[in-house]
Structure 1
Amino acid sequence: MRVKTGIVRRRKHKKVLKAAKGFRGASGDVIKQAKQAVMRAMAYSTRDRKVNKRKMRQLWIIRINAGARLNGMTYSTFMNGLKKAGILLDRKVLADMALNNAEGFAKLAESAKAAL
């Protein structure tokens, strides 16, 4: 007995076209091109999640370095001093402190200097 794939195929196509909503030109409404565009977009999104983490870490390091230099240290000596002082704060928290809590960051810098 012959089985037609009408419902199954329609559901798959609708799923792809929903993911391709907003794409320009044929990529948004022609199933073959939409499928290719969605696959490419998924690959980019997977890659760029890693890139985003990398860029945020770079930004945190830049902010910590700026705060450390205001307190007469470089980034590497500041981080080394914190490690020797036993202060276990991650870069995200340190960058936030350097930006929003300068006096607290200055106290950390003093304790890092003392530990060296």
Structure 2
Amino acid sequence: MWIARINAAARLNDITYNRLIQGLKAAGVEVDRKNLADIAISDPAAFTALVDVARAALPEDVNAPSGEAA
């Protein structure tokens, strides 16, 4: 149930569950899934802030489109 809630909130913030968890670990944020799910439900703004921290810690996605024509 926790993972489903986190995943749903993550998708609303345009990030996958896997990338969110990976980014939080890379940023050194230690929050368990129960608390992360609680934050996602009770404080969406705080969850979005955590998503921003996770995104900042992730390397650029090499598979993302570059926006330039080949």
Using structure 2 for the length normalisation, give the TM-score: 0.82
Consecutive unaligned residues in structure 1, runs of 5 or more = 1-58
Q: Which has the higher contact order (CA 8 A, sep 6+)?
A: 2
Match of 1:68 in 2: 10
Identical residues among aligned pairs (%): 52
Cross-structure match for 1:104: 46
The 5-angstrom pairing of residues 69-88 of structure 1 reads 69-88=11-30
> What amino acid does structure 2 have at the position aligned with 1:80?
Q
Q: Distance in 1 between matches of 2:9 and 2:40?
A: 5
TM-score, normalised via structure 1 length: 0.50
| Higher CA-based Rg | 1
SS in 2 for 1:87: coil
Give 1 or 2: higher helix fraction: 1
Aligned-partner Cα distance in 1 for 2:8–2:42: 13
- Paired residue total: 58
CA distance in 1, matches of 2:9, 2:23: 14
Once residues 90 and 102 of structure 1 are traced to their aligned partners in structure 2, the CA distance between those partners, rounded to angstroms, is: 17
Measure the CA separation in 2 of the matches of 1:67 and 1:79: 13
